[in-house]
Amino acid sequence: MTTEVNAQLVAERIHELQDRLAQLSPDRDVRVVAVTKGFGIDAPRAALAAGLTMIGENYAQELVAKHEELSPDERARIEWHFLGRLQRNKVRSLASIVSVWQSVDRVELIDEIARRAPGAKVMIQLNLSEEPQKGGAALVDCAALVGHARDAGLDVVGLMGVGTAGAPADSAAAFGTLVALADELAVGDRSIGMSDDLELAVDAGSTMVRVGTGLFGPRAPREGV
Ligand SMILES: *Cc1c(COP(=O)(O)O)cnc(C)c1O
């Protein structure tokens, strides 16, 4: 079961969010990835209709299913961002669909993406909370992964991170670390900030926020899988 979205309400929330981002960051453009996981095909359609073309998904099957429902015209406009934990054997089914692989966190994934989607745009995901069960590479491995991806011919367009669940000061510090690494390694995008920690992330230097519930409302709990 997926949750319905109201396209008009989504459009209003998108415009409010864009106004808020412009206020929070008058000098730096902060782009929005609309995260549609858990919602049906009407969610990416509502985002597209309101002018957002970067759409994020976390699960390979769900992304492919949505893509297949889109019209050729919609497919040409959309830029899918893959955000979730990614198994190597899922890369093939996504290779011709995904525009930006944001959750790249290990060498075997880099090698597989380079093989299936040569020259693709990737971001290295960092595990900012340093909890072992969370996705993302250790901070100490970041430079080596960026180097490996570049050597493999991939276009490293940014670093991605999920804020820590604890105190805001911890998230702010973690975001600051990611931004400093992005500067040091000369990667342009800092994909940090979600519905609940967007301001902290923009203060720290985000260039791309990934917003789901803030645009589409609460998600239905994920069943099975
Ligand atoms: C689900 C998800 C988001 C969006 O989260 P919201 O809290 O719904 O805004 C952003 N980034 C990643 C990696 C996610 O998994």
pLDDT digits (tens, 9 = 90+) for 108-162: 999 999 999 999 999 999 999 888 888 999 999 999 999 999 999 999 999 999 9
Q: Is 213 in the pocket of ligand 1 (CB under 6 A)?
A: yes
Angle between helix 107-116 and 142-151 (nearest 10)? 20
Report if residue 225 sits inside a domain: no
Cβ contacts of 99 within 8 Å, gap of 6 or more: 54, 79, 80, 81, 121
Q: Is 99 in the pocket of ligand 1 (CB under 6 A)?
A: no
Report if residue 224 sits inside a domain: no
Q: Is 210 in the pocket of ligand 1 (CB under 6 A)?
A: yes
Domain count within the chain: 1
State the residue range of the domain holding 159: 7-216
Report if residue 2 sits inside a domain: no
pTM: 0.96
Among 5, 17, 31, 35, the mutation site with the greatest number of ligand 1 atoms within 8 A of its Cβ is 35
Measure 211 CA to ligand 1 centroid, in angstroms: 6
The CATH number covering residue 82 comes to 3.20.20.10
Residue 81, classed as helix, strand or coil, is strand
Residue 2, classed as helix, strand or coil, is coil
